Amino acid sequence: MRSADCIICGPTRKRLLQNQNFKDDYVELVDPRYQKESRRLVICESCGLVFHDPQFDGADLEVLYARFRDESFRKETPDAYFDRITGLPSDQSENAAKMEWLRSSIPACVAAGGDLLDIGCGGGVFIYSFLKAFSGWKPYEVEPTPAYAELARRRLAAPVITSAYRSGLHDGRQFNLITIHHVLEHVGDPVTFLRDVRNDLAENGLIYLSVPDIHDLSYLPQNHDRFMMEHCWIFSCVSLANVCRLAGYDVLLVDQQTSIRNWRNVIAVLRAGKKAHQAIVERESPDRVLELLQPGT
């Protein structure tokens, strides 16, 4: 593990938000000895970003994502997972809700068709729903967990690269739409990650990304999966916009969405920026972050 600083402000003062003394399932996957280490969530005193300190280092992440969706961990085979999620009726399907959001929020983009890249595709269930909802798209995918990359490749008959993401994996192809679902919070350096994604984005292309919302800290138990060590960063609308602007994007839309499971997500639509950006569009003090975490706020 490694010590962590704010990805927006650098090594500024950090305020303790939460000590995490519970058993972390992802720590157990990586190295059970880490359970004895001090684990905590902190708030950047300058901009209000919430993050884990310490975090998994690069070697830890390689171990984690090789086993992240292992059957012995998830208690479900890859095919059973795919059939369960894609078989849900629309009123119980979070992917169906995402399609409605896309249809209402970026209608011209989804109607136009083109080349689509899904980064961190898992078993391909999001792309399965996307292709049912919107015609004219050719999907490409990237997934680091071998069993689920193979699942997506087989069930979607689409090109899936088994790898951690880096730009240019699909022979330098550029994409009209790039989707990044619940990936950015796992990445050690989200700013560099998003800058790399720009290299794969076609001119006038869009990025649609979603991350867990910090508000869930006030609704879900402290030892919930969303707050375990696999999530380096826990974003608000403001902190996500700051990170995206620092990476060189125009933030066209930031929204909050509550899922069928009553989990909260922050959703953003991005376009490659034409000019330099100031990273901080708004600062959230630690006191303001704590206010946001009050139920009903």
- Predicted confidence at residue 279, as pLDDT, reads 66
Residue 107 token pair: 């209608």
Q: How far apart are CA 216 and CA 32, in angstroms?
A: 26
- 105/131 Cα distance (integer angstroms): 17
Q: Which of 217, 239, 240 is nearest to 227 (CA)?
A: 217
Query: Residues with Cβ < 8 Å from 276, sequence gap 6 or more?
Result: 248
State the burial class of residue 19 (Cβ atoms within 10 Å of its Cβ: 0-12, 13-18, 19+): exposed
pLDDT for the residue numbered 204: 93
pLDDT, tens digit, for every residue of 157-172? Answer: 999 999 999 999 999 9
pLDDT (tens place) for every residue of the chain, 297 residues total? 999 999 999 888 999 999 999 999 999 989 999 999 999 999 999 999 999 999 999 899 888 887 776 665 567 888 999 999 999 999 999 999 999 999 999 999 999 999 999 999 999 999 999 999 999 999 999 999 888 999 999 999 999 999 999 999 999 999 999 999 999 999 999 999 999 999 999 999 999 999 999 999 888 888 898 999 999 999 999 999 999 999 999 999 999 999 888 899 999 999 998 776 766 777 787 787 877 777 655
State the pTM of this model.
0.92
Confidence (pLDDT) at 293 = 75
User: Can you give the pLDDT at residue 109?
Assistant: 97
The residues spanned by each domain of the chain are 14-292
Predicted pLDDT at 274: 78
Pick the CATH number of 14-292 from 3.40.50.150, 3.30.465.10, 3.90.1150.10, 3.40.50.1820: 3.40.50.150
Give pLDDT, residue 127. Answer: 96
For residue 154, the model assigns a pLDDT of 94
Instruction: Please tell me the predicted confidence (pLDDT) of residue 15.
Output: 92
Encode the chain in three state secondary structure. Answer: CECCCECCCECCCEEEEEECCCCCHHHHHHCHHHHHCCCEEEEECCCCCEEECCECCHHHHHHHHHHCCCHHHHCCCHHHHHHHHHCCCHHHCHHHHHHHHHHHHCHHHHHHCEEEEEECCCCCHHHHHHHHHCCCEEEEEEECCHHHHHHHHHHHCCCEEECCCCCCCCCCCCEEEEEEECCHHHCCCHHHHHHHHHCCEEEEEEEEEEEEEHHHHHCCCCCCHHHCCCCCEEECHHHHHHHHHHCCEEEEEEEEEECCCCCEEEEEEEEECCCCCCCCCCCCCHHHHHHHCCCCC
The predicted structure's pLDDT at residue 160 = 96
CA distance 108 to 291: 37
For 112-156, write each residue's pLDDT tens digit.
999 999 999 999 999 999 999 999 999 999 999 888 999 999 999
